[in-house]
Each structure stands twice: as structure tokens, then as C-alpha cells.
Amino acid sequence: MKNFRYMAGVAILKLEADKCIGCGACETVCPHRVWKVEGRQAVIVDYDGCMECGACATNCPVAAITVNPDDGCGCAAYIIQKWLKGEGSEACCGSNCC
Amino acid sequence: MVAKNYYFVEGFVETSAGRVTRVATKLAWPDFFGKLRARLGLRRDSYLVSPGLYCVGQPDHQSPVLVTANYKLTFDALRSQLGGLDAWILVLDTFGVNVWCAAGKKNFSTRELVRRIELCGLSEIVSHRRLILPQLGAPGVAAHQVKKESGFEVKWGPIRAADLKKYLADGLQATPVMREVTFSLSERMVLVPVELTILLKPSFYVLALVLLLSGIGPDFFSVSRAWGRGSAAFGAYGLGVLAGAGLVPLLLPWIPGRQFFLKGIEMGVLVVTGAFLLWGKMIGSGLESLALISFVIAVSSYTAMNFTGATPFTSLSGVEKEMRQGLPVQIAALVVAIVGWLASPFF
């Protein structure tokens, strides 16, 4: 996926390094190879590759990872609905987008 | 016993927890028709199989358990890769949505998985305590939580079902390539028809509005003007859709820039240039041309921006950011288009 790059510096992705136990779950589940365990510590090696899918945060057994908690898909129609009608009331385009 | 609707059922396997349906690993004609229909975006939300336990081959208590979603397209993609294997397939209820999107919406979830394990009596059917899940299920399923609540260990399988055989043969080891999503030309191409189908309904409203606005002139309203100018304006809309929902997905990695609304503008300019080379003489005044060009750009930019929802690499934060920049541009282009189009008959 290195040939597809989205905007830099926007993803909400944080690691509380002192909590990390280096289990490597994040590295396994990330579909964009954002994580790498070096020594006994997970490291973000490709921050701008993150699409905020949330796989790493969900699977971190010590809750050391934070990802944008909004689980909406990234289509414009969905976001416009969210802006117009307020958080929570939006419906994705049926099952049409994702 | 095998009903006509269940053409993909080959038979049943008796287990201590009851009969389990054995499904074919070769796809049949109805599967291909169903796939085609789903890819066209027609009645996609009712294309599903019943959640529960299935199997392929002649599995026993030691056979692997593969977990998947109940979208028929997903189920077919999985079983069609399992020829020659003996395995259990645990289908979760994701309301007919694929694994990744259902995981994002927390329907392919820890809770549903734990519940489904119990409902199917899985611990009576297999003696091991291991499940193989598609990697893209990870946003919704917490492996450590599943272990705690059900005793089953989650093994993250490859992203693509096509890699499953190698993954199983290698002792549940995935290569880095198996763990990374791709977005190849063919993967982008299959998404285009759905993008167009989604636009079908709004397009009727656009058509009605375009005919209405195109007929207005010094003599209040003229039907012949509505038809003549209306078809030109609707043609511009079509070009915008072609650029934004067609060219942008197909040419995505080669279009300069990262933001989709910009890629849409670029492709809009491209089709406008093409249209002028082909039909330049047919378009009337400068003001009319300006209006049509603005319309193409507004539509191509917006439809391109909407495609972010179908890609596997755009973050929600990023899309929101680009929309704050893109929407004002698109609205401005639309205003220029409408004002120019309404004003031109008066000059």
C-alpha cells in the first residue's frame, strides 16, 4: 500500500509507551503495517499509513493504544449527514458503502 | 431434503451437537449471478446466508474452525478457496455485511463471536480451542477478550481467503504480504458499478431540476429550451459523474495530489477538455460554457470525494479535513454553474 498515501499528519493514533508489554498484537492485526515491535516495545513505524480502522486499539490487551473512536466509514455522504443531523443520528448509506 | 434455494448445500455431517450443513467449495451459476447483482449494488443488503456452523469436506474434532461474516459474497469467497480441505466454518451474524465493514461497525464483534460459539455448541464439536479469524475482523473482535470469555484462542488468519491454504499449510503463519491490504486496478474497478448505482436515484432529481432551470428565459419558460439546454446540462452532469465516480477510482494512484476532491477536479478538467475537443462548437455563449464547466467540476469533485468511503486507506479524520476544504469549493462551483446557466438566456 506504499503506493497509496492519504493526507499526512491527520490520523488520531496514540501509544502510551509505558503501558505497552510488547505482545505484538497490534503489529499482527494492522492491515497497513503501521506497527513494529522492537525489543519489548511497540513502535509506530508508519504513522501516515494509519486509516484509523481501530484493529490495534481493540486488540491491545493493556489498552495502551488510542485510535479515533468514531467508527463511521469515511464517505462524504455519511459525514455530511453527521454534520447536518448531529453525532449519532447519521446512518451510513444503508449497507451501500460499508 | 436439499431445497432448491440451497443449491450450495452438499449434505450434512452428524456431530454430537447436531447436524452441520456441508457446503460446496465450487461456485455454481447462481453464485455468479448473485455476485454480479451484488457488485451492481442491487438488493445487496438482502444477499446473506443464515448465521451458524457450516463445514467443507469431512471435518472431525481436530479440524480447523474458520470464522466469517454472513454476507453471501464473503461466504462464497471463503468456501470457494477451501477445495480439498476439511474444515468448520462459523458464520457470524453481520446483517449481510462483509467482515471489515461489519468489524468497523462492531457487528463482527467479540460479543457476537462468543455468543455464536455457544449457540452452535462448538466446544462439543471440536476438541481443540482455536479459531481462525480473518485479519480484517480485528477492529471488532478483541482476541484477548474472546479467550477470556469463551476459552477459544483467536488466530489471525490472512486478509484474503486465497491465502488460507498456504497459511494452514505453514502452521498458521502469515507472510507480511498476507497481512497488508491492497487496492489494485481490478479491486478498484469492481467498485465503480456500485458507485454509479448509488448515484442513480439522486440523478433523477438532478435531471428534473436541470430541465426546470434550463427552460427559464426572458419569456418565462420554454419547453424547447428546457429540452435543448437541459440535455446539454445533464450531459455535463454525466461527464462529471464519469470523471469523479469512474476515472478517479480507476486512475487513482496516478492522479497527482492526495485529496480526493482535488483528484476529482483534475479529472473534471480532463473530461471538459476532451468534451471541448469533441463537441466544442455545439456549446453556445461564454457564460453558458463557464456554467457547464463549473457544473462538471462540482459534480466530479464531489463524487470523487465520496469515493473515500470505498477505499481501504483513507482515515475518517483525513476525510473530514478534506471535506472542510472541498465542500466550499464544490458549492462555489455549483453556484457559478446555476447563476451562469440561469443568466445566459437573458444576454
pLDDT-derived band at B19 (thresholds 50, 70, 90) equals very high
Do A53 and A92 lie in a common domain?
A: no
B31's CB contacts (< 8 A; 6+ apart) are B8, B76
Give me the residues paired with residue B22 across strands: B11, B55
The yes-or-no verdict on residue B248 having pLDDT over 60 is yes
CB-nearest partner of A31 from B101, B135, B309? B135
Do A44 and A60 lie in a common domain?
A: yes
Q: What is the overall mean pLDDT for chain B? A: 95
Can you list the domains of chain B with their CATH numbers? Answer: 4-181 (3.40.50.11600), 186-346 (no CATH)
ipTM of the complex: 0.90
pLDDT-derived band at A87 (thresholds 50, 70, 90) equals low
Q: Which residues 33-62 of chain A have a CB within 8 Å of chain B?
A: 33, 49-56, 58-59, 61
Q: Rounded distance, CA B138 to CA B109, Å?
A: 9
The yes-or-no verdict on residue A72 having pLDDT over 80 is no
Name which of B157-171, B174-188, B279-293, B325-339 the model is least confident about: B279-293
Q: Does B219 touch chain A (CB under 8 A)?
A: no
Do A8 and A40 lie in a common domain?
A: yes
**CATH code, A6:** 3.30.70.20
Stronger pLDDT, A91 or B169, i.e. the higher one:
B169
Rounded mean pLDDT, B282-309: 91
Q: Which residues 36-65 of chain B have a CB within 8 Å of chain A?
A: 41, 44-45
Do A63 and A88 lie in a common domain?
A: no
According to the model, what pLDDT value does residue A94 have?
A: 44
Do A23 and A44 lie in a common domain?
A: yes
Burial class (CB in 10 A: 0-12, 13-18, 19+), B322: buried
Do A74 and A94 lie in a common domain?
A: yes
According to the model, what pLDDT value does residue B276 have?
A: 86
CB-nearest partner of B180 from A1, A61, A76? A1
pLDDT-derived band at B170 (thresholds 50, 70, 90) equals very high
Could you list the residue range(s) of the whole structural domain that residue A81 is in?
A: 70-98
Rounded mean pLDDT, B134-146: 98
Distances (CA, A) of B22 to B72, B319, B323: 16, 43, 48
pLDDT-derived band at B148 (thresholds 50, 70, 90) equals very high
Do A47 and A75 lie in a common domain?
A: no
Structurally, how many domains does chain A consist of? 2
Do A76 and A57 lie in a common domain?
A: no
Do A62 and A74 lie in a common domain?
A: no
Rounded mean pLDDT, A20-45: 97
According to the model, what pLDDT value does residue B187 have?
A: 96
Do A15 and A63 lie in a common domain?
A: yes
CB-nearest partner of B138 from A1, A58, A70? A58
Cell numbers that stand for A96 in this block:
451501500
Give the chain A residue nearest B109 (alpha carbons).
Answer: A58
Q: In chain B, where does DSSP find H-type helix? A: 29-39, 72-79, 99-104, 110-119, 122-125, 143-150, 164-169, 185-189, 192-215, 223-241, 248-251, 260-279, 286-306, 316-343
Rounded mean pLDDT, B31-45: 92
Cell numbers that stand for B247 in this block:
476515472
Cell numbers that stand for A76 in this block:
462524504
| pLDDT tens per residue, range B94-105 | 999 999 999 999
Do A42 and A84 lie in a common domain?
A: no
Rounded mean pLDDT, B174-199: 96
